[in-house]
Structure 1
Amino acid sequence: MQAIILAAGMGRRLKKLTEHQPKCMVSVNEVPMIERMLKQLEHYHLNRIILVTGHEGEQLQSFVGSLSLHTPVTFIDNPVYQTTNNIYSLYLAKDYLLQDDTLLLESDLIFEQEVLTQIIRDPYPNLALVAHFESWMDGTVVLLDEQDNIMKFLTRKDFRFEDIHSYYKTVNIYKFSQNFSATHYVPFLEAYSKALGNNEYYEQVLKVISLLDDHDLKASRLENWFWYEIDDEQDLDIAESIFTDSQSRLTRLSSRYGGYWRYPGLLDFCYLVNPYFPNSRLMGEIKASFEALCTSYPSGLDINNLLAAKSLGLNKDNVLTGNGAAELIKPLIRSFSNAVGVIKPSFEEYGNCARFPVPFMVSTPDFTYTAKDLMEFYKDQELDALVLVNPENPTGCYMKRSEVLSLASYCMEKQAFLILDESFLDFSSAEEAPSLMTQETLEEYPNLVLIKSISKSYGVPGLRLGILACSDQAVLRLVRQELPIWNINSLAEYFLQIFEKYQSDYKEALKKFKVTRKKMFEELCSIRQLKLYPSEANFILCEITDGCSASQIAELLLNRYNILVKDLSHKPGMEGREFIRVAVRTESDNQRLADALKHILR
């Protein structure tokens, strides 16, 4: 077997990175793509590698010549690479297709070694390597039957986004037998090039061949191994976060703070949402209005405050909407020029934003504390505000409503604000009606500032919605002056407009969630190396007790099982012990996590 690598293109979308070098010499984590690919091909003892060059071809040839390769490399120059596409590059190598079984690759790919092993060891002689189509992908898309026959190469006219669950994207790695090249591919390649010119793609030839009754081309579905096609700088950034050592991969993915739809198969147990809401009916309503929403300006802040207040049963003059709770937290906390009491461990954004944070360090082994503990600690300190996240993040600890009210009264006596974050409160089953987000409570406690992340509780983190509620107009003015007129988009506004009529569905989703959390807690409790802490939130805190580090567990989960969890080994207030935090997802996802942890810790 031989390999043909197409490497003539200019890679314009990579801008300055390809201005003076071939696209395939762009480095991913300091290793040029072509070097990585050639060394991977070395494992299979190929008869030769044919490399079709073009842009900066002499530089590429010199670089490849400097590598210590055992497989002979033959170069073919495409002198008209600027005006042709890859069909002409392959046309130049057509004589080689007739001489041996061929592995055909594009040079802007990066992949795990097992990707090549899968297609080479597959006994079927003529294969296109394919992967499940993801919404962000671009390029050649095919339909398969149950026997992995390629039924159709889709054109843009055929493509329907509502059907993408059945689509497969070609990975741009193919295997052709010498006979297939002689009887099918090369004759059609020659005819196609003569009839339609050379400014086309070689997949067009495969599309024509697939229309034959005896085309003899199947697909090999790539399910478990990583690959990436690098066309622009964002692709390069993502590839560098995937194809790195295990520790760096965890660090890089965690520091992205989301956008994980670009990582096929990644199961996110790190970021916290509602797994059972929104339901399909609500999503269908948003989809039905999607075009109008995308092409229309959202309303200004006043209108969105009105929408949020209406849904929450509050006075519109007591509410601010934010682009996520984070947009409201920073100006709120920064408005206090003196000390702000914060709890550790807790959600760190409050302490990070405070000019003078005064931390209450939770000292109990199970991270529980009471309102009385906080009052005693801060009794001799002057505070502008005290922050309480209830239930607490990341411990899941819950403080009863009566205790929170006593803390509000205590803060009022100290002429301080109580900032109460109820982002996870809807997930609690500790007592009926635990929330303080009522108009009556806000009026009774003018020093109470409530924060709620709609994104977390209602399962729409992509919409970025948060609420601040307070009856003190001075506080609201200070925060509002930091917000733009249009701080949330039309999709988020529409969600505020319609979600009130789905409240009964939301309550049912919360009931289902609480059952799922209980099952997950019991399943994880069966793992003897884990100590679990009861949670009233949509996550569970797990302590690792057998000597393994949280970082080790998080790395193994990510690199072996493609599962991302929160490593808390460096979180202030949790030093010296090993903790991970895991979100509560659907029962099937939770079982997948539990099985992975059992394998790692057995």
Structure 2
Amino acid sequence: MQAIILAAGMGKRLHELTKNNTKCMVKVNGVPLIERTLKILDKKKLSRIVIVVGYKKQGLIEFVKNLDVRTPVVFVENDDFDKTNNIYSLLLAKKYLQKEDTLLLESDIIFEEAAIDLLLDDPRSTLALVDKFASWMDGTCLELDAEDSIVEFIPGKYLRFEEKENYYKTVNIYKFGKTFASDVYVPFLEAYFKAMGVNEYYESVIKLIAMLEHCEMKAKRLTGQKWYEIDDIQDLDIASSIFEESMEKKYELITSRYGGYWRYPTLLDFCYLVNPYFPTEKMVRELKSNFELLLLQYPSGMQVNSLLAAKNFGINQEHIVIGNGAAELIKYFMETLDGTLGIITPTFEEYRHRYKVNIVEFAIDSKDFRYTANDIINFFDKKEINHLVIINPDNPSGNYIPHVDILMLINWAKAKSINIIIDESFVDFANEINNTLITENILSIYENLYVVKSISKSYGIPGLRLGVLASSNKKMIAKLKKDVAIWNINSFAEFFMQIFEKYKNEYAKSLEQLRISRKELINSLKQLEKIDVFPSEANYVLCEIHENTSQRVATELLRDNILIKDVAPKIKNGKQYIRVAVRTREENRHLIESLRKMF
């Protein structure tokens, strides 16, 4: 068995990174792609490794010669690398391709050793390594039958994305049997090259062969082994996190992205807090059916979208402003304030981040971070504060103040002339229903009551970025509407608001499902040793970890592709805490099983 690596290309899409180096010299976590590949192949007792070089070939050749690689390395030079595609590179290596069984690889792939072992351990002589198609992938795809035969070979430009569930992506790593290469592939390669010219791809030849009635080549499906194709700097960024060996560093790299986890299709996200039971499939279908219309047209301006929000919450449109997520509204609102701000800690930190001076903290020091409305009043009653922020339920504790007590707080704040900002982003998940403050009756109690709500979280649509701020202070609402951009939400978000009312019953049912899932998750967590589980009325649960660190728990779960929140750095009391989101009952059971193994 030998290996052939195609490494002649220029890698133009990597721009400055390939200005003075060929593509396979690009480093992932400090290690060049070619070095990583050669060190894996060097363990496989191959007879030789053939590298087809071209662009910046001398630097690559010198680098490889200086590596500690015992397997003989042969270089084939493609001096026309700037005028040809990889069909020509492989044609230059055809004499080697016909000598013995061959692993054929492209040089811009990063992969773990287990992927190569999967090919070598399979007794079938000729295989194309494939993976289930995911949203980050592009290029050639396959459709397979139950016997791993290739039913259809689909170039990237002809992909039918509505059928993506049936697709497998070629990893661009192949195993060719000697007989297949000599008697089938090379003759086809030569004929195709003669007919089509130098600007074609060797995969096109594989496609022709795969369509033959009797084709020796089969697909070998990956079973979770990691790989990534590096075409641009975004790919390099993703690959750096996927192939980071330090789990602590990997956890840091992934969490610092703050989302975009569709690029990690196997990752189970227990970190970010959304409703897993909404929107319903029917609502998603309605959104999909209008996709092209919404994509190609401008959204309405603030006036229309405020009207939509007012309709959905049943209040005056002069009393509500809609935002590109609650975070946008928090930023603009907090920037309008001056004086002293009262906050409760630990809590959601965006308000503190947007108001950096004159802060009075009520630090909750009870073991489970419970506090009541009376506790808040007793602490702040003698303090000189101008504004008070309350998150209800609080984050990360899940502490909930009942509706009647929140009304008491509002009246206390009114008597003290304190602006009171209540963030009810998670209030819909509480066991108490009909508890929103966004009603005309409640807003009219006090002009300087401001209610913030993240629609993204409650309604399970974080990708649409929606939030609202409501108040009977028309002057403040008008100012915020002027401060934000006129088109601050997109057409998809607007359409969601437009159609939401007819799905209100389904939304209520989703909240009931969430409460059931939360109860089951809390009960399951309580059965684990060395964990204290705190009560919660949000869609997340805070836990204290004993005889371990929260960092280690978070990083070990990441080995199982589970992402949770390490909140010990946020709470900063010397103890160890994790926060886990409430997901579907099946997903919650998966989390519990991983935790059970750990403890």
Please indicate the TM-score interval, normalised by the length of the shorter structure.
Answer: over 0.9
Specify the alignment match of 1:567 in structure 2: 566
Specify the alignment match of 1:335 in structure 2: 336
* Cα drift, residue 158 of structure 1: 5.1
What one-letter code is carried by the residue in structure 1 that aligns with 2:138?
D
* In 1: Cα distance, 2:422 partner to 2:123 partner: 62
What one-letter code is carried by the residue in structure 1 that aligns with 2:86?
N
Alignment of 1:73-112 (within 5 A): 73-112=73-112
Alignment of 1:145-224 (within 5 A): 145-155=145-155, 159-224=159-224
Alignment of 1:17-56 (within 5 A): 17-56=17-56
Q: Is 449-458 or 158-167 further displaced after alignment?
A: 158-167
What one-letter code is carried by the residue in structure 1 that aligns with 2:567?
L
What one-letter code is carried by the residue in structure 2 that aligns with 1:279?
T
* In 1: Cα distance, 2:49 partner to 2:307 partner: 66
| C-alpha distance after superposition, 1:198-251 (max 9, x if no partner) | 211111011000111221111111121211100001001111111112111000
2:139 and 2:155 in contact (8 A); partners too? no
2:28 and 2:239 in contact (8 A); partners too? yes
What one-letter code is carried by the residue in structure 1 that aligns with 2:56?
E
* In 2: Cα distance, 1:337 partner to 1:445 partner: 19
Specify the alignment match of 2:515 in structure 1: 514
* Cα drift, residue 156 of structure 1: 5.2
Aligned to 1:595, which of 555, 579, 593? 593
* Cα drift, residue 105 of structure 1: 0.6
Three-state SS of the structure 2 residue aligned to 1:475 is: helix
* In 2: Cα distance, 1:523 partner to 1:443 partner: 43
What one-letter code is carried by the residue in structure 2 that aligns with 1:497?
Q
What one-letter code is carried by the residue in structure 1 that aligns with 2:402?
K
Three-state SS of the structure 2 residue aligned to 1:543 is: strand
Aligned to 2:579, which of 578, 581, 584? 581
* In 2: Cα distance, 1:142 partner to 1:590 partner: 33
What one-letter code is carried by the residue in structure 1 that aligns with 2:31?
V
2:139 and 2:157 in contact (8 A); partners too? no
What one-letter code is carried by the residue in structure 1 that aligns with 2:250?
R
What one-letter code is carried by the residue in structure 2 that aligns with 1:595?
E
* Cα drift, residue 157 of structure 1: 6.9
* In 1: Cα distance, 2:155 partner to 2:218 partner: 19
* In 2: Cα distance, 1:99 partner to 1:582 partner: 55
* In 2: Cα distance, 1:67 partner to 1:358 partner: 60
* In 2: Cα distance, 1:583 partner to 1:13 partner: 38
Specify the alignment match of 1:314 in structure 2: 315
* Cα drift, residue 563 of structure 1: 0.6
What one-letter code is carried by the residue in structure 2 that aligns with 1:565?
I
Specify the alignment match of 2:398 in structure 1: 396
Three-state SS of the structure 2 residue aligned to 1:38 is: helix
What one-letter code is carried by the residue in structure 2 that aligns with 1:222?
L
1:383 and 1:414 in contact (8 A); partners too? no
Specify the alignment match of 1:300 in structure 2: 301
* In 1: Cα distance, 2:479 partner to 2:238 partner: 39
Is residue 39 of structure 2 the alignment partner of residue 64 of structure 1?
Answer: no
Unaligned runs of 5+ in 1: none
Q: Is 489-498 or 213-222 further displaced after alignment?
A: 213-222
* In 2: Cα distance, 1:243 partner to 1:519 partner: 35
Three-state SS of the structure 2 residue aligned to 1:393 is: coil
Identity %: 49
Specify the alignment match of 1:386 in structure 2: 388
* Cα drift, residue 475 of structure 1: 2.3
Specify the alignment match of 1:9 in structure 2: 9
* In 2: Cα distance, 1:246 partner to 1:133 partner: 26
Specify the alignment match of 1:420 in structure 2: 422
Three-state SS of the structure 1 residue aligned to 2:451 is: strand
1:28 and 1:239 in contact (8 A); partners too? yes
1:8 and 1:54 in contact (8 A); partners too? yes
What one-letter code is carried by the residue in structure 1 that aligns with 2:581?
A
What one-letter code is carried by the residue in structure 1 that aligns with 2:390?
L
What one-letter code is carried by the residue in structure 2 that aligns with 1:504?
N
Alignment of 1:529-548 (within 5 A): 529-545=530-546, 547-548=547-548
1:8 and 1:81 in contact (8 A); partners too? yes
Aligned length: 597
Deviating runs (4+, > 6 A) in structure 1? none
Specify the alignment match of 1:464 in structure 2: 465
* Cα drift, residue 287 of structure 1: 0.8
| C-alpha distance after superposition, 1:106-160 (max 9, x if no partner) | 1001112211111121222111111110123111100011121211101457532
Specify the alignment match of 2:495 in structure 1: 494
* In 2: Cα distance, 1:45 partner to 1:221 partner: 24
2:302 and 2:481 in contact (8 A); partners too? no
1:335 and 1:478 in contact (8 A); partners too? no
Specify the alignment match of 1:253 in structure 2: 254
1:550 and 1:569 in contact (8 A); partners too? yes
What one-letter code is carried by the residue in structure 1 that aligns with 2:569?
H
* In 2: Cα distance, 1:108 partner to 1:274 partner: 38
* In 2: Cα distance, 1:377 partner to 1:318 partner: 30
Is residue 277 of structure 2 the alignment partner of residue 279 of structure 1?
Answer: no
Instruction: Quickly say closer, same or farther: Cα 1:341–1:118, change in 2 above 3 A.
Output: same
* Cα drift, residue 530 of structure 1: 1.8
What one-letter code is carried by the residue in structure 2 that aligns with 1:371?
A
Alignment of 1:402-441 (within 5 A): 402-429=404-431, 431-441=432-442
Q: What RMSD, in angstroms, separates the aligned Cα atoms of the two structures? A: 1.2
What one-letter code is carried by the residue in structure 1 that aligns with 2:55?
H
* In 1: Cα distance, 2:109 partner to 2:433 partner: 55
Alignment of 1:446-485 (within 5 A): 446-485=447-486
* Cα drift, residue 575 of structure 1: 2.2
1:347 and 1:389 in contact (8 A); partners too? yes
Three-state SS of the structure 1 residue aligned to 2:359 is: strand
TM-score, scaled to structure 1: 0.98
1:382 and 1:414 in contact (8 A); partners too? no
* In 2: Cα distance, 1:575 partner to 1:197 partner: 68
Three-state SS of the structure 1 residue aligned to 2:444 is: helix
Three-state SS of the structure 2 residue aligned to 1:555 is: helix
What one-letter code is carried by the residue in structure 1 that aligns with 2:592?
A
What one-letter code is carried by the residue in structure 2 that aligns with 1:249?
K
2:562 and 2:591 in contact (8 A); partners too? yes
What one-letter code is carried by the residue in structure 2 that aligns with 1:95?
K
Specify the alignment match of 2:378 in structure 1: 376
| C-alpha distance after superposition, 1:426-447 (max 9, x if no partner) | 1111x23222111111011212
1:52 and 1:78 in contact (8 A); partners too? yes
2:140 and 2:156 in contact (8 A); partners too? no
2:565 and 2:580 in contact (8 A); partners too? yes
* In 2: Cα distance, 1:579 partner to 1:183 partner: 63
Instruction: Quickly say closer, same or farther: Cα 1:252–1:156, change in 2 above 3 A.
Output: closer
* In 2: Cα distance, 1:494 partner to 1:420 partner: 27
